[in-house]
Amino acid sequence: MTAKAKPTAKPKSKAKPESHLAMVRRARRINRELAELYPYAHPELDFRNPFELLVATVLSAQTTDLRVNQTTPALFAAYPTPEDMAAAVPEEMEEIIRPTGFFRAKTKSLLGLSAALRDNFGGEVPGRLEDLVTLPGVGRKTANVVLGNAFGVPGITVDTHFGRLVRRWKWTEQEDPEKVEAEIAAIFPKSEWTMLSHRVVFHGRRICHARKPACGACPIAPLCPSYGEGETDPEKARKLLKYEMGGRPGQRLSPPPEYPGEPAPAVDAG
């Protein structure tokens, strides 16, 4: 996949500070551009139901979605329901999820949330944020992932990619995830929240990397106040592109039908 237009560097000038209204207009234009760039944006965790998405999201802390996707098939084969997982032998679960890191703490969370689902919610994942955050290991970020993608309830997911990019784009200066969520929510209509989250995360993983963003291959470079933090040479920048943008597999073993890239390998070859 190639960028639709060559980005152009913004001339250095001593322009007056951007007004809030101008920032909102620029932010919404970036969202529209991202929607064209990633019409197939989606959650990059494999799941078939709300319980699987909840568990996968808890496992995704401090690891890649790919690593989680390579781990969850065995986990859900062993424990397909909250009742099954709540009755698991901790040491056996730890061995299954060990590749995701922090496996003891994650096992404790999974056992706790599964028991809570069994005992307090009839074995079903609740569809309200105030209920989800009562589950062990579940905070607002995880709750918004589940609500937005399993229940169709709009939510902004502030993960490390999202927070990094919205600060890079000067949409907010906040560092606290809840404050970031509140400020970004005020910029966009509620109907956009879930897909905005996916688009921003997709862009952060594929083009606007943390250490070396591919500025020279970025279609929204003309709208970016941080243009030039990364590689601006188009040829060098294209070599930095990841996943389908760089012609390589994505993170899902079972991507949605409209995804233009290749499925990830079931066994980690790295």
Confirm whether 141 is a catalytic residue: yes
Decide: helix, strand or coil at residue 113. helix
| Residue 130 CA neighbour count, 13 Å, CB half | 0
**Amino acid (one-letter) located at 78:** A
Structure tokens at 220: 């929204």
By C-alpha distance, which of 23, 135, 118, 122 is closest to 79? 118
CA distance 270 to 192: 36
Q: Annotated catalytic residue: which of 6, 14, 141, 179?
A: 141
Element (H, E) at 140: helix 140-150
Two tokens, residue 169: 């784009």
**CB atoms near residue 233 (< 10 Å):** 12
The residue count for the chain: 270
CA distance linking residue 51 with residue 49, whole number of Å? 6
How far, in Å, CA of 121 to CA of 126, rounded? 7
* Residue at 77: amino acid letter: A
Q: Are 181 and 156 in contact (CB under 8 A)?
A: yes
Catalytic residue among 159, 170, 176, 233: 159
The secondary structure of residue 40, as a DSSP letter, is T
Active site residues: 141, 159
